[in-house]
Structure 1
């Protein structure tokens, strides 16, 4: 059950629940479907298809199966957490060393709009400064209790949950004077959802991006799924001009969610959100985002070691029709160099393309920190160069590049772990087993802390390279660190 819950796929949870030995005999799809208000065919598709994304359904199903709230990848209302009793928790208790998630420090403030209660996200600083902690806690409990009494199988309706889903992040800068406007927009999108509310969604996205490097994808994804649900819901009702703005933010959020799913090694979900990002970018008439998504698909092809597809996607991303910012053009050019290195092009040609990427990056504006691809800077370029040189058969040179960048200590916690894994790979290929093992062990500790399956996969490849040195003490310790 824990493995199924950690997959973030409710269909896998259903299957694990039905086949769990605790039941003494198999629970049929027909029986479980009846409990979940589904039919057998719907349950079968849910178990074998893409991860369900409808947060209201996820909440209802979790409530029906009485899954402990602290094991879920999305946020239940506080009243429901009390309903998941201690005996249930003992069956699915995470490891004792797990630390509580302190990133989600905000709350929900009920605001009455047209006689209905709307829960509005409030950041932790506003709650503390305004003395609202008790009000927020008790009023959310009361709201949830009333909703449960109306429909015990559906603790909150979809729109109410979308509001709380976005609130999973502690968003700075939301003052009390803004609450009524945001609440009104969430309640009546056509009338009230305007530029400032779209900016609010963008701030949720930007904070999630900042949190990702420190906390990892699994703690960031619930916020993004709440935001994406809000975009999908509200985009149906807004005015056309606002819809384009909203879908622009939605495209960026979908692209970022695709990356998060890549990090936890769920490629089908990643492709789904990349495709949604492309669709929304097309409707929003945002050509740069369309080219950017092609770049991201090329990078995902590298994860799958599909060199030819990676190269052709990078070439497609570099087409003039996309009107890419200079910084993204630099990243696309470097990605094409990586594809050529994997396909065995001459080292001189690969180096020439890397030099072109550097020239493009040097010409990019440094005054647009929020521009598309803002993360691609001089350090990122050097790290990607190192990956390219590894693929081009120059692992010793690549290991030195990795060392130089990582020694500065400026990367996020998650990225430090990932690029140390790449450094360990280069060292292993260079015939430096002890150093590769020591760095790989340190990388594994970070990977398990932030739950980066992508990093773990790279470390598995390093261990295979080190197999001929498997009797060395450092390599044995590294192997043990990957099998705990």
Structure 2
């Protein structure tokens, strides 16, 4: 075991503690300290199989005694824990270095009523939201969602202090928070919750004259329809988003490609590739991407095209586009790498390349387990089923590995 200096300053570990996500906390602590499950278990009074069950979410920490043993054994800073949000100027400040010390003091004073809300305070809250978006790419929505929800409530509570243009900014910020909360609910397969947040985001965006976010919200509802297997609804929502006044070129490109993916889901090859080609022409000239589309670019677009290829059973095209997209993803994009890596394994399995499918699947299996449930995890199970149906021994290997982590 090699403890890292000030291990509790690591953003991933702090976020897990704040959400009291014990599975993520134990796994991240072991990764950072290079500890085995047995070594961690000795510190917290748990047997190795119990540590494994918690990390793999087969067992929940429901006992106050076990919770306290983890806190004491790993020296979890009490100020990070979810029950102690009130000790922080804002709950999201569990992520270190997001705002300056001066901004932190300002936000604390605003929260306690000692200072009126001003533009600098809203700027700081914008920075917090941007940091949470990037943290979610790495640690996953399960860990980040409770922080963002607590932060949303803080922002909503400050609306009454805002006047004039500042009030419009707060409404815009609320719309952005609602859109992000919708995305995370969708990522956790909570479609009704996601739809509720999307509707709130859309209404606030229209109230604030924020056409770009309103169009993004419709486009993301198209993604939700696609996730649910409704290609026609995906097309309608994507096309509605692309035509909404105020949409930037980057947002229009995202909406048009969503329509293309909807057509692909319906098996309409010509319409699908026509929309995808149109989206690529739009994105090539886009220079005005809004802050929530920070991930948007050629690698992401290639991966999306690969998804359409997958629906249309163009295995070679899917392999090429998904490989190209993944090559451009930063290592911090763990959730996206897990999802698209699982889809690449599916493409190889569809093409009959069992060995390549297994290699890709095993390359993302741990990220899929930790931050890619349920979507990437389900995709890997699908890959295992395809390989087993074809009698490939690699199918048994993959299913066995998945069972160990289930």
Q: TM-score range by the shorter chain?
A: 0.7 to 0.9
Question: Is residue 298–residue 325 contact of structure 2 (8 Å, CA) maintained in 1?
Answer: no
Cα separation, 2, equivalents of 1:408 and 1:70? 30
SS at match of 1:414: helix
Is 2:113 the counterpart of 1:188?
yes
Shift of 1:197: 0.7
Q: Which residue of 1 aligns with 2:34?
A: none
| Change in 2 beyond 3 A, CA 1:283/1:438 | same
Higher relative contact order (CA 8 A, sep 6+): 2
Cα separation, partners in 2 of 1:408 and 1:172, compared to 1, 3 Å: closer
Whether 2:328 is the aligned partner of 1:395: answer: no
Q: Could you say if the C-alpha distance between residues 319 and 405 of structure 1 is closer, same or farther in structure 2, counting changes exceeding 3 Å?
A: closer
Deviation at 1:214, TM superposition (A): 1.8
Separation of aligned partners in 1, 2:244 and 2:289: 23
Q: Is residue 170 from structure 1 mapped to residue 96 from structure 2 by the alignment?
A: yes
8 Å CA contact 1:325–1:372 kept in 2: the answer is: no
For the Cα contact (< 8 Å) 1:216–1:452, is it kept in 2? no
Larger CA deviation: 166-175 vs 249-258: 166-175
Is the aligned partner of 1:476 residue 2:401?
Answer: no
Q: Does 1:204 align with 2:128?
A: yes
Alignment partner, residue 328 of structure 1: 251
Residue deviations 1:287-342, cap 9 Å, x none? 22111100001001111111111111111111243x21111111111111111122
Displacement, 1:70? 6.2
Aligned to 1:285: 209
Would the aligned equivalents of 2:335 and 2:372 in 1 still touch at CA under 8 Å?
A: no
Give the one of 280, 304, 308 matched to 1:358: 280
1:343 and 2:266 correspond? yes
Q: 1:219 aligns with which of 143, 148, 158?
A: 143
Q: How does 1:56-455 map to 2 (within 5 A)?
A: 71=22, 94-95=51-52, 98=55, 160=86, 163-175=89-101, 177-188=102-113, 192-321=116-245, 323-345=246-268, 347-365=269-287, 371-408=291-328, 410=330, 412-455=333-376
| Deviates most, 201-210 or 271-280 | 271-280
**Do 1:171 and 1:207's aligned partners in 2 also have CA atoms closer than 8 Å?**
no
CA contact (8 A) 2:110 2:117 kept: yes
Q: Secondary structure at the match of 1:192?
A: coil
Query: 1:255·1:293 contact (CA, 8 Å) conserved in 2?
Result: yes
| Whole-angstrom distance in 1 between the partners of 2:208 and 2:326 | 38
**Higher helix share goes to which structure?**
2
Contact 1:438–1:478, Cα closer than 8 Å, also in 2: no
Contact 2:202 2:217 in 1 (8 A): yes
Name whichever of 180-189 and 420-429 sits farther off.
Answer: 180-189
- RMSD of aligned C-alpha atoms? 3.3
- Cα distance in 1, alignment partners of residues 329 and 221 from structure 2: 29
Of the two, which has the highest radius of gyration? 1
Q: Calculate the TM-score normalised by the size of structure 1.
A: 0.64
Kindly provide the CA deviation profile for residues 136-162 of structure 1, in whole angstroms up to 9, marking residues without a partner as x.
x89x79xx9xxxxxxxxxx87x9x478
2:153 and 2:113 mapped to 1: Cα distance?
Answer: 16
Q: CA deviation at 1:163?
A: 4.1
Q: CA deviation at 1:69?
A: 5.3
Aligned length: 346
Separation in 2 of the partners of 1:468 and 1:179? 57
Q: CA deviation at 1:362?
A: 0.8
User: Which 5+ residue runs of structure 1 have no aligned equivalent?
Assistant: 1-67, 75-87, 100-136, 145-154
- Structure 2 contact 335–368 (Cα < 8 Å) conserved: yes
Is 207-216 or 379-388 further displaced after alignment? 207-216
Could you give the per-residue CA deviations for residues 206-231 of structure 1, whole angstroms, max 9, x where no partner exists? Answer: 11111122222222223211211111
* Equivalence for 2:15: none
SS of residue matched to 1:281: helix
Residue aligning to 2:41: none
